[in-house]
């Protein structure tokens, strides 16, 4: 039931694993700055060393081989390649590092999927306004072109930006991710807009300048929960779930896959709230300019990051303050029957993935889909024999198989998050998503396979032999 060229992968992100934050002339990123401030991250931990993959890449490669992966998703640290973010100054050591990673993967028959941006903007660009500044889009496009030019002879799967929703909301509305801005109701919409513009420009550059020769595929990774109305017969809850979808998945997928513009429900909710609160001026949700490369059609596949599901209900009372929550005007509820794993937000709902995949097929015109992230975390005391996580992977992959077999979703690959225990953003090292345990108390940062890793390896080997047979 899995196609013979199905991608069996796992993913990581540069800041979460590489360490070497100043090694070989790397420039600082916004996550370096954020973590070095007190009180931002659990235990004031940082990614200064993390899994030290900058020096221990070969150990990661051994893990990849032990799992039998066909694909590995990693991100490039923009400031490792271009220390001040601009192509005016290239750090050759950074280029060498990623060249080695890519070449080693290919030598082991593993295809790389490269993410250009996974939350770690060069600090020098943040100092010029970061993602709030319209000029960031062309700067990103130059960086993307540099990467296509440098690595695109060997890399065929590209993600421009990982989870624009998370960067925009957690980084610029809630202030719990770098750059730590709290500018509710305004900045996140501007950031999301500039991310879409940047993505679209990079896709067009690839399409016209690199695709003819390199023949790869480019998308952006969109995170989404599955959302059901709390009371399926209640019109207010149904409308609330639709609004919630519009403010998360729709915010980024609608412009790219459906109309070239934001979902109408999103814009009207934001504008109605502006009016109610006496906010004058242009819509807080920016508009796409006809003079720039179109955003519609700028994804060669749908890259989905799925972790959990929610029930959604209409809100009883809405705060009279400018913020995304009041614009969205819908409240999420956890179903008490869903087990929680590790972190409070992550309810284990594998069947939600099947529903979401069908929804994507129906709403976005049956795109090819890669599940670019999906995982289950644990917090201490850690279990190497993590049976619950093993079950999770079995159940989830079974749901993926059903989405292909029963619903006909065109799923091209599945990437577990994550290859290694790593720096889990504001949770530091307290939350572990790895298929491999990393001993952060030991200078060698030894990697050891969890039971869930063994289970995933078994699943891969079973399906790979069915596929080839």
For the bound state, the minimum distance from the C-beta of residue 222 to ligand BGC, rounded and expressed in Å, comes to 11
Distance CA 87, CA 81 (A): 9
Residue 464, burial from CB neighbour count under 10 angstroms (0-12, 13-18, 19+): middle
Tell me which stretch binds ligand BGC (CB under 6 A): 53-61, 162-170, 179-187, 449-457: 162-170
Residue 228 DSSP SS3: strand
166 binds ligand BGC (CB under 6 A): yes
Q: Do residues 10 and 73 touch, judged by C-beta distance below 8 A?
A: yes
53 binds ligand BGC (CB under 6 A): no
For the bound state, the minimum distance from the C-beta of residue 16 to ligand BGC, rounded and expressed in Å, comes to 6
417 binds ligand BGC (CB under 6 A): yes
For the bound state, the minimum distance from the C-beta of residue 13 to ligand BGC, rounded and expressed in Å, comes to 5
Residues 230-289 that bind ligand BGC (CB under 6 A): none
Label the pairing between strands 71-75 and 157-162: unpaired
For the bound state, the minimum distance from the C-beta of residue 165 to ligand BGC, rounded and expressed in Å, comes to 9
For the bound state, the minimum distance from the C-beta of residue 170 to ligand BGC, rounded and expressed in Å, comes to 9
329 binds ligand BGC (CB under 6 A): no
399 binds ligand BGC (CB under 6 A): no
Distance CA 253, CA 36 (A): 34
First to last CA, the chain: 12
Could you say which of 18, 60, 141, 163 contacts ligand BGC (CB under 6 A)? 163
Q: Where are the beta strands (DSSP E) in 224-352?
A: 226-229, 302-305, 309-314, 330-333
373 binds ligand BGC (CB under 6 A): yes
x-or-dash string of contact with ligand BGC, 61-90, rule CB under 6 A: ------------------------------
Residue 395 DSSP SS3: helix
13 binds ligand BGC (CB under 6 A): yes
- Residue 264 is a catalytic residue: no
Distance CA 450, CA 431 (A): 15
The catalytic position among 18, 331, 373, 455 is 373
Residue written as token pair 């941006």: 117
Instruction: Report whether the peptide linkage leading into residue 249 is cis, meaning its omega lies within 30 degrees of zero.
Output: no
Q: Do residues 413 and 370 touch, judged by C-beta distance below 8 A?
A: yes
Binding site for ligand BGC (CB under 6 A): 13, 16, 162-163, 166, 223, 305, 373, 417, 424, 433
Instruction: Give the catalytic positions in this structure.
Output: 163, 373
């Amino acid at each position: 039931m899995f196609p013979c060229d199905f991608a069996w992968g796992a993913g990581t992100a540069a800041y979460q694993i590489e360490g070497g934050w100043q090694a070989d002339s790397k420039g600082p990123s916004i996550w370096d700055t954020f973590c070095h401030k007190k009180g931002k991250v659990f235990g004031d931990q940082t990614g200064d060393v993390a899994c030290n993959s900058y020096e221990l890449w070969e150990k990661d490669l051994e893990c990849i081989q032990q799992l039998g992966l066909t694909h590995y998703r990693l991100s490039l640290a923009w400031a490792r390649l271009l220390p001040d973010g601009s192509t005016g100054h290239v750090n050759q050591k950074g280029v060498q590092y990623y060249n080695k990673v890519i070449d080693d993967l290919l030598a082991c028959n593993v295809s790389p999927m490269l993410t250009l941006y996974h939350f770690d903007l060069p600090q020098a660009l943040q100092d010029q306004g970061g993602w709030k500044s319209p000029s960031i889009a062309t700067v990103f496009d130059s960086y993307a072109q540099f990467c296509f030019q440098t690595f695109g002879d060997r890399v065929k799967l590209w993600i421009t930006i990982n989870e624009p929703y998370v960067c925009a909301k957690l980084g610029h509305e809630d202030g719990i991710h770098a750059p730590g801005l709290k500018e509710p109701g305004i900045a996140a919409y501007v950031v999301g807009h500039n991310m879409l513009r940047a993505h679209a420009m990079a896709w067009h550059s690839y399409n016209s300048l690199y695709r003819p020769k390199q023949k790869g595929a480019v998308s952006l990774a969109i995170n989404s929960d599955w959302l059901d109305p709390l009371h399926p017969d209640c019109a207010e809850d149904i409308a609330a779930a639709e609004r919630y979808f519009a403010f998360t998945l729709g915010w980024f997928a609608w412009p790219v896959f459906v109309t070239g513009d934001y979902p109408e429900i999103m814009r009207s909710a934001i504008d109605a709230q502006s009016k109610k609160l006496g906010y004058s001026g242009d819509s807080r949700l920016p508009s796409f300019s006809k003079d720039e490369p179109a955003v519609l059609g700028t994804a060669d596949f749908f890259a989905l990051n799925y972790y959990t599901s929610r029930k959604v209900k209409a809100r009883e009372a809405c705060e009279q303050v400018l913020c995304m929550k009041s614009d969205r005007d819908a409240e999420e509820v956890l179903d008490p029957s869903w087990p929680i794993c590790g972190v409070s937000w992550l309810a284990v709902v594998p069947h939600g993935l099947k529903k979401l995949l069908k929804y994507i097929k129906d709403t976005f015109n049956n795109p090819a889909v890669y599940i670019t992230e999906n995982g289950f975390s644990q917090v201490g005391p850690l279990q190497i024999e993590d049976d619950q996580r093993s079950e999770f992977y079995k159940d989830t992959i079974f749901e993926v198989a059903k989405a292909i077999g029963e619903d006909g979703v065109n799923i091209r690959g599945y990437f577990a998050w994550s290859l290694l225990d790593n720096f889990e953003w504001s949770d530091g090292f307290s939350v572990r998503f790895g298929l491999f345990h990393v001993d952060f108390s030991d200078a060698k940062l030894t990697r050891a396979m969890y039971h869930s890793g063994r289970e995933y390896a078994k699943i891969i080997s079973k399906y790979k032999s069915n596929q080839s047979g």
